[in-house]
Amino acid sequence: MSAARIPFAEVRAALLERREIALIDVREEAPHAEGHPLFAAQISLSRLELEAFSRLPRRDVPVVTVDDAGATGGRAERAAEKLAELGYTQVAVLAGGVFGQGGWRDSGGEIFRDVNVPSKAFGELVDATLKTPSLSAEAVKTLLDAKADVRIVDVRRFDEYQTMSIPGSISVPGAELALRVPVLAPDPKTRVIVNCAGRTRSIIGTQSLIHWGLANPVAALRNGTIGWTLAGQTLERQQSRKFPTAIPETLRQRAAEKAAALARRAGARTLDRAGIAAFQADATRTTYCIDVRDPAEYQAGHLPGFQNVPGGQLVQETEMTASVRGARIVLCDTEGVRAPMTASWLAQMAWEVFIYRETDLAALTETGVWQIPLPPLPGVPGVSPATLAEWLASDAPPVILDFTRHKNYRQGHIPGAWFALRADLAAALAVTPKARRYVLTCLSGLLGHYAQAEAQALLPDAEVLVLAGGTNAWVAAGFPLTTEEKLANPASDRYCRPYEGTEASPVAMQAYLDWEYGLVAQLERDGSHYFQVLKP
């Protein structure tokens, strides 16, 4: 039976009325980046079981699945059926999809390219509204060559900073700025330059310091590492300079007071433990509880029920965590700075935001990484790494299908394993050799468990097993990996970001910048965002 269809007009009405709705693009990341509605959050059909419960925590939230054309038997319909199996009760398919007849584009809806578009478009709106101070790559290079009194802070994730960075810069992820920059640049005459890879995070970071009231002159590095590269200047690689962790108590208190005042002015509210408990017990609303501290701090101790997303990352990739538009977000940290600074931006992006106002360390009773909620694992036949190694050395080796992300696969996988997309399993099996035995894996092995029944149905005459513990268990057992690739499906699960790596062409970099500059006009045409930029 086909899933119910919902037209463009009803989805748009929900967005305009600010009702809770999850518009979920179930295509892989690369086709998602080619074009989607503004608030379409990407959760591929391939990984639905791994991500649905954390990103769509309320089972009766209205969910609309999206693919290219909304065709019968297509990805959106298959995803809707899977979500229903997982217990979601209000699931429909966007009629006509993104590009089909009667779909989003055909009905006059604005189409956005790239990923994390709500945050990037908001960043461009901030820049257009406030005229964020910026310096060109050439101007910054001149300051560095003259040994001027400048401090360059890179607001990306630390792993991005290590990939490539401005010479002499130090890693200070976005939400840490108000807490760390006063220590890094105590002299108010020191010029602070904020950079990311492109534009968004440097704009938001610069305005964070201005809004917060830093006495130093602050400017964004215009166009980030992309602008630096296009200017013909050299980037550093694999640097490890990080922000200072020691904060004088008087400075922390002053930073917290100023951050709290900024958050209140933006419209964020505070909440105590009783309020959090009431939100978590409220079955009529979706609430995301997020600890915005550094992962090491979170793992040392955190509040029960809170997941960890550092504040700068949350502002940059909001829909990747809070995939229900119109939901509530509760933030916490122990310093009283990072949560309010993050909240000030989310409130301007039209989220209903609350800050946990207590910082009692005794309440941080849970430790370790966040345990992602998952559906029960099917009881499926497994095989140990040692047995798989024996089979691979035999005259009739099994076919191994690896469902991990392609970026993980290319870094190393079990010798002979084929990269495959779980959502395109039938197409993958048409490419791989025929065998009497198949073994499914990914890094953890979880996707193999969820895919085994489907694979067995497609291979009725073969034995289909799951590698116990996945590729991680293979490595832990001491067996080797290879980087020789065998693709059973195109690697469409990853969009190649021109601002993220070191191999993008100058043409791609410039095209990306040109696209960012056009986002404000797209926001105006779309008209569903409710963004409100706070004036200093």
On the question of a common fold for 121-242 and 382-476, the answer reads yes
pLDDT given at position 502? 56
| Domain range 256-363, CATH architecture | 3-Layer(aba) Sandwich (3.40)
Instruction: Classify residue 135 by its DSSP letter.
Output: E
- Longest alpha-carbon distance in the chain: 74
CA distances from 357 to 218, 254, 364, 431 (A): 29, 16, 14, 56
Model confidence over 174-233: pLDDT tens digits? Answer: 999 999 999 999 999 999 999 999 999 999 999 999 999 999 999 999 999 999 999 999
From the CB of residue 453, how many other CB atoms can be counted at a distance below 10 Å? 12
Question: Quick one: angle between helices 75-85 and 48-55, nearest 10?
Answer: 60
CATH class of 382-476: alpha beta
Q: Where are the domains of the chain?
A: 5-114, 121-242, 256-363, 382-476
Ordered strands of the 437-441 beta sheet: 382-383, 463-467, 437-441, 399-402, 418-419
Whether 28 and 423 have beta carbons less than 8 Å apart is answered as yes
Q: Token match 């790596």: residue?
A: 501
With a pLDDT cut of 70, the percent of the chain lying above it is 99
Mean pLDDT for the chain overall: 95
Model confidence over 139-167: pLDDT tens digits? Answer: 999 999 999 999 999 999 999 999 999 99
Which residues, in sequence order, are CB contacts of 120 under 8 Å at separation 6+? 114, 199, 200, 516, 519
With a pLDDT cut of 90, the percent of the chain lying above it is 92
Instruction: Classify residue 236 by its DSSP letter.
Output: B
Model confidence over 476-493: pLDDT tens digits? Answer: 999 999 999 999 999 999
CATH T-level topology, domain 121-242:
Oxidized Rhodanese; domain 1 (3.40.250)
CATH class of 5-114: alpha beta
Cα gap 222→27, rounded to integer Å: 33
Model confidence over 385-417: pLDDT tens digits? Answer: 999 999 999 999 999 999 999 999 999 999 999
Cα gap 83→234, rounded to integer Å: 48
Whether 78 and 67 have beta carbons less than 8 Å apart is answered as no
